[in-house]
Amino acid sequence: MQHFEQSVYDLIVETSTNLPGDVRKVIQAAREAEDRATRAGLSLSTIATNIEMAETNVSPICQDTGMPTFVVHTPVGANQIVMKQQIRSAIARATKDGKLRTNSVDSLTGANTGDNLGPGTPVIHFEQWEKEDIDVRLILKGGGCENKNIQYSLPMDIPGLGKAGRDLDGIRKCIMHSVYQAQGQGCSAGFIGVGIGGDRTTGYELAKQQLFRRTDDENEIPELRQLEEYVMENANKLGIGTMGFGGEVTLLGCKVGVMNRLPASFFVSVAYNCWAYRRQGVLLNAESGEIQSWIYPSGSDTPMKNGAADEAAEAVTERAERREVVLNTPLSEEDVRGLKVGDIVIINGEMHTGRDAIHHHLMDHDAPIDLNGSVLYHCGPVMLKDEAGWHVKAAGPTTSIREEPYQGDIIKKFGIRAVIGKGGMGPKTLAALQDHGAVYLNAIGGAAQYYAECFKNVNGVDFMEFGIPEAMWHLKTEGFAAVVTMDAHGNSLHAEVDKDSFAKLEQFKAPVFK
């Protein structure tokens, strides 16, 4: 087993940086189904560009490399203690090399371990089997989509869909609602794994296990195959679209599994996964630990037919209702008041990152720099340091709604003019944008390589005690593009899409499965 640790390291790198071929094919099909001259079409083209960039750069597809979760099948007699040690060592090495973000945080103190090791991190499930080889599978599921997981306890009343009973039709309603409630906050278009039955814990485990299935497989249970087909046909009629911008493609895959339950409980658990569907596996020689084969199709064999991003951008700006506005920081109130929902904004100048720890801190403390007229980016980047200094390796947006309790107050307190993130924010932030002259810009979730190229220099950093993702990075920016989805006039694209998709959800209230 002298090669086991290196094989796991190779698996981690491949999973983080190279989207599998079966996932790429689904995203290609989504691009063909979407009008390229729309916000959703532009987003899908940007996603395709990002996928190719990540593979070429051997850098994370998304800056949030999630909770590394391994499922390992071993022959009888394999030393799982040593294997666990070597998996942990491979995780620490991949983190040091910038293939994983430092994501393991103490739940009580907030301290970042810096190596992705700690109680419960990474997650490793061992199972014995009667085969002679070792099967190691890994999924990297980010926090933004993890937060959109949802569990239902039947029977219950589901908003927009009414009574959901303990039957296939009740399950159908749960799944349709799970897609609606995710909106764009889980980096749609996404994939879902569904677990029927079990208890609260095993139900979620079953749901996540479904995400290890290939996108093109067929369910062996006829009723579940029919359910999967129904969801794929109808979830895309909700009109939520890529990034929640509206559009034809909301869901890219649905896989459903079932297990027994207690008579008193009937859980339907849904694991939502973003478009950056990072899972891969290897079959290893049990004697040497060397890789014999890869479990899922190689992404390298399925190029994303790139070069379409610029064409899509041109098509968007050709539309009379679309504008492209170039702004240099610091921004003025006049700059911001002139923007409206739907505008594409190109930002040049200095930008500052700020996530959960920064927002919490700034509520009661002064900022380390003058933020008047500034742009605040909801981002926890992957950063590496060498002799020349810090470098941005991956820097896509994080889900903004977590900052809703703070954002309006911070905009008012510091004079921030633009906030960038993904998935939109709520009514408190919308009111603050209008009152104080600011905008919310939606960047493309998961496009960590695409945006990393926009950062030409690291001007400085504050609050490193919060850990690299939560620190405030001051970045020189060129050509950072995002869409105005909440403006200073009280308009919110996110609220509009939510309202429209809820109305569409209600059409699926009538029973389908008897």
Task: Quote the crossing angle between the two packed helices 21-33 and 39-57, to the nearest 10°.
Answer: 160
> Do residues 491 and 340 lie in contact, with contact meaning Cβ atoms separated by under 8 Å?
yes
Q: Which residues contact 114 (CB under 8 A, 6 or more apart)?
A: 95, 102, 467, 468
What residues contact residue 83 under an 8 Å CB cut-off, 6+ apart? 1, 4, 72, 74, 126
Whether residues 481 and 359 share a domain: the answer is yes
- Domain match, 306 and 358 both: no
Other CB atoms within a 10 A radius of the CB of residue 154 amount to 19
> Is the pLDDT at 318 greater than 80, yes or no?
no
Residue 310 has pLDDT above 70, yes or no: no
Residue 133 sits in which domain range? 1-142+280-322
For residues 177 and 131, state if they share a domain: no
CA 324 from centroid of its chain's CA atoms? 26
* Segment 159-191, tens digit of pLDDT: 999 999 999 999 999 999 999 999 999 999 999
- Res. 109: pLDDT tops 60: yes
pLDDT in tens, 210-257: 999 999 999 999 999 999 999 999 999 999 999 999 999 999 999 999
Mean pLDDT value of segment 473-497 = 97
User: Rounded mean pLDDT of 478-482?
Assistant: 97
Contacts of 454 (CB under 8 A, 6+ apart): 395, 477, 478, 479, 480
Give the span between the Cα atoms of 404 and 429, in whole angstroms. 6
What are residue 440's DSSP bridge partners?
419, 486
In a domain, 512, yes or no: no
Report d(CA 102, CA 47) in Å as an integer: 23
Backbone angles phi, psi at 395, to 5 degrees: -155, 55
Does residue 171 fall inside a structural domain?
yes
pTM of the predicted model, to two decimals?
A: 0.94
Q: Which of 39 and 134 is assigned the larger pLDDT?
A: 134
In 3D space, the residue among 397, 340, 350 whose CA is nearest the CA of residue 374 turns out to be 350
Our count of domains for the chain comes to 3
Which residues have CB under 8 Å from 77's CB, separation 6+?
none
Q: Half-sphere exposure of residue 310, counting CA atoms within 13 Å on the CB side?
A: 2
pLDDT tens for 362-410 read 999 999 999 999 999 999 999 999 999 999 999 999 999 999 999 999 9
* Tokens linked to 334: 């006049």
Question: Which neighbouring-strand residues pair with 191?
Answer: 253, 273
Same domain for 46 and 111? Answer: yes
Q: Which helix (H) or strand (E) holds 360?
A: helix 356-362
User: 404 and 428 in contact (C-beta within 8 Å)?
Assistant: yes
**Of 199, 195, 203, residue with least CA distance to 257:** 195
Q: Has residue 407 been placed in a domain?
A: yes
DSSP state of 397: P
Strand 123-129 versus strand 67-75 pairing type? parallel
DSSP letter for 415, please: T
Q: Residue 371: which CATH number?
A: 3.20.130.10
Task: Give a yes or no: residue 208 inside a domain.
Answer: yes
Q: Tell me: do 308 and 328 sit in the same domain.
A: no
Is residue 331 domain-resident?
yes
Look at residue 492 and give its three-state secondary structure. strand
Which residues are bridge partners to 150 per DSSP? 270
Tell me the pLDDT tens digit for each residue of 42-99: 999 999 999 999 999 999 999 999 999 999 999 999 999 999 999 999 999 999 999 9
Q: pLDDT tier at 37 (50, 70, 90 boundaries)?
A: confident
Q: Are residues 488 and 370 in the same domain?
A: yes
Residues 133, 152, single domain; the answer is: no
| Cα four-point dihedral sign 510, 512, 513, 514 | positive
What are 333-350's pLDDT values in tens digits?
Answer: 999 999 999 999 999 999
Instruction: Give the model's pLDDT for residue 1.
Output: 86
Q: How far apart are CA 185 and CA 147, in angstroms?
A: 9
Q: How confident is the model at residue 306 (pLDDT cuts 50, 70, 90)?
A: low
> Is residue 316's pLDDT more than 70?
no
Same domain, 419 and 471: yes
Ordered strands of the 291-294 beta sheet:
123-129, 67-75, 134-141, 278-284, 291-294
pLDDT for the residue 171: 98
Q: Mark whether 85 and 194 lie in a shared domain.
A: no
Residue 502 lies in a domain: no
Q: What's the whole-number average pLDDT of the chain?
A: 95
Cα separations in angstroms, 299 against 16, 255, 269, 278, 294: 12, 21, 29, 11, 11
pLDDT score at 313: 46
User: Is residue 28 over pLDDT 50?
Assistant: yes
pLDDT band at 320 (very low <50, low <70, confident <90, very high): very low
Whether residues 387 and 486 share a domain: the answer is yes
Question: For 442, what's the count of Cα atoms within 13 Å in the CB-facing half-sphere?
Answer: 31
What is the structure's pLDDT at 322?
A: 66
**Beta-bridge partners for 422:** 399
Residues 339 and 249 in one domain: no
Residue 505, domain member (yes or no): no
User: From residue 366, how far is each of 196, 352, 363, 410 by CA, in Å?
Assistant: 49, 15, 8, 10
Identify whether 514 is part of a domain: no
Query: Is residue 308 predicted with pLDDT exceeding 90?
Result: no
Percent of the chain whose predicted confidence (pLDDT) is above 90: 94
| 156 lies in the same domain as 267 | yes
Rg (CA), the chain: 23
Q: Is the pLDDT of residue 485 over 70?
A: yes
- Cα separation, 196 vs 309, in Å, equals 39
